Amino acid sequence: MRMNKFIKNTITLVKKNIRLLIRAKASALIVILGPLLIIFLAGLAFDNTNLYAVKVGTFSEKYNELSNSFVDRLVDAQFKVTRFPEEDKCRSAIERGEVHTCVVFSPDFTMAKDNSNELSFYVDYSQINLVWSVLNAMTEEVTEKSMELSRNLTTILVNALEYSSTQVKEKRPSLINLTTSNDLVNRRVTDVSIRLEEVSLDFDPGAFGTSDLSSQKGKVKHWVDASINLGSQAISDAKSFVGNANDVVQASSISGEQKQSLKDLFESAIDELNEMEGKFGDTKSLAESQFNELNSLIDTLVGKITQTKAQMDQIDAAHDTSLAELGDAKTALDGSLKNLLDVQRALNNIDNIIRSIEVKDPEAVVQPIVTNIKPVISEQSYLNYIFPSLIVLIIMFTALLLAPTLILLEKKSPAYFRNFMAPVNGFTYLFATFVTCFLLLILQSVIILAIAAVFFSSQLLAGIHYTIILVFLVIALFSAIGMMVGYIFNSEETSALGAISLGSIFLFLSDVIIPIESMPSWFMAIAELNPFVVCSDLLRSTIIYDLSIFVLWQKLILLVFLVFIAAALACSIYYFSRNKLIYKTFRKKS
Amino acid sequence: MVDDSIDFDNLHSLIKAGWPKDMVEEHFKDSNKKSALGSAIFIDNISKSFNNTQVLDKISLAINPGEIFGIIGLSGTGKTTLMNLMVGFIEPDAGDVVVRTPSGNNVSVFRFPEIIKAIFGFSTQYPSFYSKLTIKENLAYFGELFGLSPGQIYDRSTELLSLVKLSRFENALAGNLSGGMQKRLDIACALIHKPSILLLDEPTADLDPLLRRQMWKIIRDINKKGTTVIVASHFIDEIEHYCSRIAVLNNKTISFNGSSDDIRRKYTTNFEVQLKTSSGKYKYLLDYLAKHSLVARNKMLEGKLILYTSTPKRLLSDLFKIVAKHRDSIESLDLAKPSLKEAFEELVK
DSSP3 helix / strand / coil % (chain B, rounded to 5): 40, 25, 35
User: A101, A134 in Cβ contact below 8 A?
Assistant: yes
Could you tell me if A24 lies within 8 Å of chain B, comparing CB atoms? yes
pLDDT reported for residue A35: 66
Which residues, at least 6 apart from A309, have a Cβ–Cβ distance to it below 8 Å? A203, A205
The number of residues in chain A equals: 590
Contact between B7 and B13 under an 8 Å Cβ cutoff? The reply is yes
Tell me how long chain B is.
349
For helices A426-462 and A34-46, give the axis angle rounded to 10 degrees.
20
Give the whole-angstrom CA distance, residue B239 versus residue B68.
Answer: 9
Residue A147 vs residues A140, A141, A370, A384, A428: alpha-carbon distances, Å: 10, 10, 12, 31, 68
Residues of B in contact with A12 (CB under 8 A): 141, 144-145
Taking the C-alpha atoms of A154, A155, A158 and A163 in order, what is their torsion angle to the nearest 10 degrees? Answer: -140
- Identify the contact set of chain B against chain A, taking CB-CB distances under 8 A: 16-18, 50, 80-81, 84, 87, 89-90, 114, 117-118, 120, 122, 124-133, 137-138, 141-142, 144-147, 173, 189-190, 201
> Looking at beta carbons, which residues of chain A come within 8 Å of B143?
none
Q: Which of B19, B57, B82, B10 is nearest to B233 (CA)?
A: B82
- B304: β partners: B301
Question: How high is the pLDDT of residue A477?
Answer: 93
Please identify among residues 515-574 of chain A the ones whose CB lies closer than 8 Å to any CB of chain B. none
Mutation target to probe the A interface, by most A beta carbons within 10 A, among B120, B141, B234 is B141
Out of 3.40.50.300, 3.40.50.970, 3.40.250.10, 3.20.20.70, the CATH code matching B11-264 is 3.40.50.300
Return the axis-axis angle of helices A531-543 and A382-412, rounded to nearest 10°: 140
**B145–A12 CB contact, under 8 Å:** yes
**Pairs from A262-266 (Cβ < 8 Å, separation ≥ 24):** A266/A242
Helix or strand or coil: residue A148? helix
For the cut 50, the answer to whether the pLDDT of residue B36 exceeds it is no
- pLDDT at residue B216 tops 60: yes
The per-residue DSSP string of B244-263 comes to SEEEEEETTEEEEEE-HHHH
- Asked if B18 lies within 8 A of A12 by C-beta distance, the reply is no
- Restricting to A residues 209-268, those with a Cβ less than 8 Å away from any Cβ of B are none
Whether residue B286 contacts residue B298, with contact meaning beta carbons closer than 8 Å, is answered with: yes
Q: What is the pLDDT of residue B34?
A: 44
- Cβ of A8 within 8 Å of Cβ of B147? The answer is yes
> Distance (Å) from the C-alpha of residue A12 to the closest C-alpha of chain B?
7
What is d(CA A174, CA A515) in angstroms, rounded to the nearest whole number? 62
B28 confidence band (pLDDT: 50, 70, 90): low
How is the beta sheet containing A119-123 ordered, strand by strand? A80-83, A55-59, A101-105, A119-123
Residue of A nearest to B2 (CA): A423
Name the residue among B80, B114, B145 with its Cβ closest to that of A9. B145
Cα gap A54→A57, rounded to integer Å: 10
- Secondary structure class of A539 (helix, strand, coil): helix
* Cβ neighbours around B172 below 10 Å, total: 15
Which residue on chain B is closest to A14 by alpha carbon? B141
Q: Which of B50, B89, B114 sits opposite A423 (nearest CB)?
A: B114
Residue type, A133: S
Q: Which residue of A lies nearest to B129 if distances are taken between CA atoms?
A: A415
- Residues in chain A closer than 8 A to B185 (CB atoms): none
Contacting residues of B for A422, CB less than 8 Å apart: 117, 142, 145-146
How far apart are the C-alpha atoms of A542 and A539, rounded to whole Å? 5
Nearest-by-Cβ selection for B132 from A9, A23, A423: A23
- Please report the pLDDT score of residue A170 as a whole number: 84
> Which chain B residues touch A590 with a CB distance below 8 Å?
80-81, 84
Average the pLDDT over B36-45 and give the result: 75
Contact assignment for B125 to A589 by CB distance below 8 Å: yes
Which residues on chain A are in Cβ contact (under 8 Å) with B130?
16, 20, 413, 415
The pLDDT assigned to B141 comes to 93
Radius of gyration of chain B (CA): 25
**So what's the pLDDT on residue A113?**
57
Residue numbers in A near B187 (CB within 8 A):
none
CATH hierarchy code of domain A55-162: 3.40.1710.10
**Interchain CB distance below 8 Å, B128 and A414:** yes
Q: A82 by DSSP, 3-state: which?
A: strand
Does the pLDDT at position B32 exceed 50?
no
What pLDDT, on a 0 to 100 scale, did the predictor assign at position B35?
A: 42
* Distance separating alpha carbons of residues A506 and A536, to the nearest angstrom: 11
Would you state the pLDDT for residue B153?
92
pLDDT in tens, B131-147: 889 999 999 999 999 88
Strand partners, B334: B274
Q: Dihedral of CA A505/A506/A507/A512: which sign?
A: positive
pLDDT at B13 over 80: no
Contacts of B126 in chain A (CB under 8 A): 414, 589
Q: Do residue B118 and residue A423 have CB atoms under 8 angstroms apart?
A: yes
What local confidence, expressed as pLDDT, does residue A510 receive?
Answer: 81
**In this structure, which long-range contacts are made by residues A568-577, counting pairs with CB atoms below 8 Å and at least 24 apart in sequence?**
A569/A480, A569/A484, A570/A430, A570/A434, A570/A480, A570/A481, A570/A483, A570/A484, A570/A487, A571/A427, A571/A430, A573/A483, A573/A484, A573/A487, A573/A488, A574/A426, A574/A430, A574/A483, A574/A487, A575/A426, A576/A487, A577/A487, A577/A488
Longest dimension (CA), chain B: 84
Question: How many alpha carbons lie under 13 Å from residue B4 in its C-beta half-sphere?
Answer: 4
Within 13 Å, how many C-alpha atoms sit on residue A252's CB side? 16
Considering only CB atoms, A1 lies closest to which of B18, B124, B131, namely B18
Cα separation, B67 vs B243, whole angstroms? 8
Read out DSSP for B265-334?
A: HHH---EEEEEEESS---HHHHHHHHHHT--SEEEEETTEEEEEES-HHHHHHHHHHHHHHTT--EEEEE
Is A419 in Cβ contact with B145 (below 8 Å)? yes
Selecting from A2, A12, A415 the residue whose C-beta is nearest the C-beta of B130 gives A415
Q: Which residues of A fall within a CB distance of 8 Å from B84?
A: 586, 589-590
Cα gap A486→A429, rounded to integer Å: 13
Task: Give strand pairing partners of B201.
Answer: B232
Q: Does A586 touch chain B (CB under 8 A)?
A: yes
The pTM is what?
0.61
Contact partners, residue A39, CB within 8 Å, separation at least 6: A390, A391, A394, A448, A451
Work out the burial of residue A268: count CB atoms within 10 Å of its CB; fewer than 13 is exposed, 13-18 middle, 19 or more buried. Answer: exposed
User: What is the distance between the alpha carbons of residues B161 and A551, in angstroms, rounded to a whole number?
Assistant: 61
Instruction: Please check the confidence at residue B196 and state whether its pLDDT lies above 80.
Output: yes
Assigned fold of B268-348: Alpha-Beta Plaits (3.30.70)
- Option in B81, B127, B141 nearest A16 (CB): B141
Q: Which among A106, A119, A120 is positioned nearest to A62, based on CA atoms? A: A106
SS3 B192: coil
B231 secondary structure, DSSP code: E
Domain range summary for chain A, segments of one domain joined by +:
2-48+380-589, 55-162, 205-356
Chain B residues with CB under 8 Å of A20 CB are 130, 132-133
CB A35 within 8 A of CB A444: yes
- Rounded CA separation B199/B88 (Å): 12
Of the candidates B18, B128, B137, the beta carbon closest to that of A5 is on B18
Say if the Cβ atoms of A5 and B147 lie within 8 Å: yes
Size of interface A-B (CB pairs under 8 A): 86
pLDDT at A567: 92
Q: How far apart are CA A406 and CA A19, in angstroms?
A: 11
Average per-residue pLDDT in chain A? 80
Amino acid B173: pLDDT: 92
Nearest Cβ partner of A423 from B127, B138, B146? B146
Compute the distance between CA of residue B24 and CA of residue B115 in angstroms, rounded to an integer.
Answer: 9
* Segments of chain B assigned to CATH 3.30.70.980: 268-348
pLDDT > 90? residue B24: no
Sheet holding B41-50, edge to edge: B53-63, B41-50, B94-100, B106-108
Task: Give the per-residue pLDDT at A542.
Answer: 80
Rounded Cα distance between A389 and A403, Å, is 21
Rounded mean pLDDT for each run of 10 residues along chain A, 590 residues in total: 81 88 74 69 62 77 81 79 88 83 80 68 72 68 74 84 84 85 87 84 77 77 80 80 78 74 77 79 81 84 86 87 87 86 84 79 71 54 71 87 86 83 86 91 83 66 79 92 90 87 86 72 82 86 76 85 92 80 52
What 3-state DSSP class applies to A149? helix
Find, in chain B, the residue whose alpha carbon is nearest to that of A411.
B130
Query: What's the CA angle centered on B294, arms B292 and B300, to 5 degrees?
Result: 115
Nearest-CA distance A416 → chain B (Å): 7
Residue B204's contacts (CB-CB under 8 Å, 6 or more residues apart) are B183, B211, B212, B215, B216, B233, B235, B238
Write the CA distances from B162 to A284, A479, A529, B144, B188, integer angstroms.
Answer: 198, 42, 59, 20, 10
Q: Does A25 touch chain B (CB under 8 A)?
A: no
Contact B124 A422 (CB under 8 A): no
Strands B120-123 and B197-201: parallel
Are B147 and A423 an interchain contact pair (Cβ–Cβ within 8 Å)?
Answer: yes
Residue in B8, B14, B120, B144 to test binding to A, most A beta-carbons within 10 Å = B144
Q: For the stretch A58-75, what's the b/e string if a residue is b when 16 or more beta carbons lie within 10 angstroms of its beta carbon?
A: bbbeebeebbeebbebbe
